[in-house]
């Protein structure tokens, strides 16, 4: 049996070894997360155009954002509509595809691979491809609609339809991720529960509603949160599909486009930093609300 002083020395050695192992991760968090956050908060209280020295303006950037910039309300409204148009189809389609892929059928691995392909595709590349598909005159989608007697749709030239088109592209990109998470959760549901439900006479829909959904509530909430975060932060697909101005008119003028324009188009870095913190606050509130609703539903059940 070791003496107390030897045990204490061994404990200190283990503690130092632990700090050595976690030091690189802590340094990465400090350099790539905490430091940029601190700089962006500092810049949000200043006026800076990348060339002259930052000038302290206090909360003027935030006051301008909420009081005197009508484009912020437009971007906020478009982002809210876009989030709803993306969230609901992503969750519904993701659940349906995961339920289908969860079956034990011959060749199901091939269909799983096909379903997951959009997950590894470049967002910008697939947005460019969809841009050709949505072309009004000779786009593939309007050609197919013409086969059934439907007139060409202004997918990217009408402000309302442009936002719908952007939502379609985002759903196409988001569904595979949701499917991966939900399929993994479904495969963790014990088969004995389904057998018991079958014995009780429950059909496929009843088993899905009463057995599957309650047991995948946690992963489903995770999909909700991640989809909302990705929708509010959407930029690259909007930029590639409709350009960096949020057109046509302001149809796809999202918060991400507004942030990009002010930072790299107008060189108002302080104002863009303030907008970034507002986006962060919106995401934080939405995430906390979703977690609260999820925890409340678990308690009630």
Q: Digits of tens for pLDDT over the chain (301 positions)?
A: 555 667 677 778 888 888 888 888 989 988 888 899 999 999 999 999 888 899 999 999 999 999 999 999 999 999 999 999 999 999 999 999 898 888 776 666 777 777 777 777 788 888 888 988 998 888 889 999 889 988 889 899 998 899 999 999 999 999 999 998 998 899 888 888 888 888 888 888 888 888 888 889 889 999 999 999 999 999 989 998 988 888 888 999 999 999 999 999 999 999 999 999 999 999 999 888 888 887 776 666 5
Q: What is the spatial distance between Cα 94 and Cα 179, in angstroms, rounded to a whole number? A: 5
Q: Quote the CA–CA distance of 76 and 69 in Å, as a whole number.
A: 12
pLDDT of residue 5: 65
201: alpha, beta or left? (left if phi > 0; alpha if psi -120 to 50): left
Nearest to 169 by CA among 287, 89, 113: 89
Identify whether the C-beta of residue 197 lies closer than 8 Å to the C-beta of residue 206. Answer: yes
The vertex-275 CA angle with 274 and 277, nearest 5°, equals: 65
Give the CA-trace dihedral at 279, 280, 285, 290, to 10 degrees.
100
Cα–Cα distance measured from residue 20 to residue 23, given in angstroms and rounded to the nearest whole number = 5
107 φψ region: left (φ > 0), alpha (ψ -120 to 50), beta (else): left
Q: What is the pTM of this model?
A: 0.88
**Spatial distance between the Cα atoms of 96 and 65, rounded to a whole number of angstroms:** 41
**Helix locations, the chain, DSSP H:** 4-29, 35-44, 60-63, 70-101, 108-120, 123-133, 140-147, 159-187, 191-199, 204-207, 213-215, 217-232, 236-242, 255-260, 269-300
| Dihedral pair phi/psi, residue 267, rounded to 5° | 55, 35
């Amino acid at each position: 049996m070791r003496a107390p002083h030897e045990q204490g020395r061994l404990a200190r050695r283990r503690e130092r070894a632990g700090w050595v192992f976690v030091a690189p991760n802590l340094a990465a968090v400090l350099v790539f997360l905490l430091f940029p956050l601190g700089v962006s908060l500092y810049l949000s209280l200043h006026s800076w155009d990348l060339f002259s020295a930052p000038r302290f303006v206090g909360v003027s950037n935030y006051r301008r954002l909420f009081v005197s910039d009508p484009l912020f309300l437009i971007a906020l409204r478009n982002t809210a509509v876009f989030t709803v148009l993306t969230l609901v189809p992503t969750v519904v389609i993701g659940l349906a595809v995961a339920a289908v892929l969860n079956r034990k059928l011959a060749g199901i691995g091939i269909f799983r691979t096909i379903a997951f392909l959009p997950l590894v595709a470049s967002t910008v590349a697939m947005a460019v491809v969809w841009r050709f598909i949505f072309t009004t005159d000779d786009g593939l989608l309007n050609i197919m609609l013409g086969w059934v007697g439907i007139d060409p749709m202004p997918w990217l030239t009408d402000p309302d339809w442009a936002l719908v088109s952007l939502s379609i592209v985002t759903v196409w990109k988001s569904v595979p991720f949701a499917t991966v998470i939900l399929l993994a959760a479904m495969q963790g549901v014990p088969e004995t529960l389904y057998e018991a439900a079958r014995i009780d006479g429950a059909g496929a829909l009843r088993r899905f509603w009463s057995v599957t959904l309650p047991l995948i509530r946690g992963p489903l909430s995770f999909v909700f949160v991640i989809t909302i975060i990705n929708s509010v932060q959407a930029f690259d697909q909007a930029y590639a599909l409709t350009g960096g101005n949020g057109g046509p008119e302001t149809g796809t003028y999202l918060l991400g486009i507004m942030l990009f324009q002010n930072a790299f188009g107008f060189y108002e870095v302080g104002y863009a930093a303030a907008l970034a913190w507002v986006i962060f606050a919106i995401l934080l509130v939405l995430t906390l609300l979703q977690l609260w609703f999820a925890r409340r539903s678990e308690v009630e059940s």
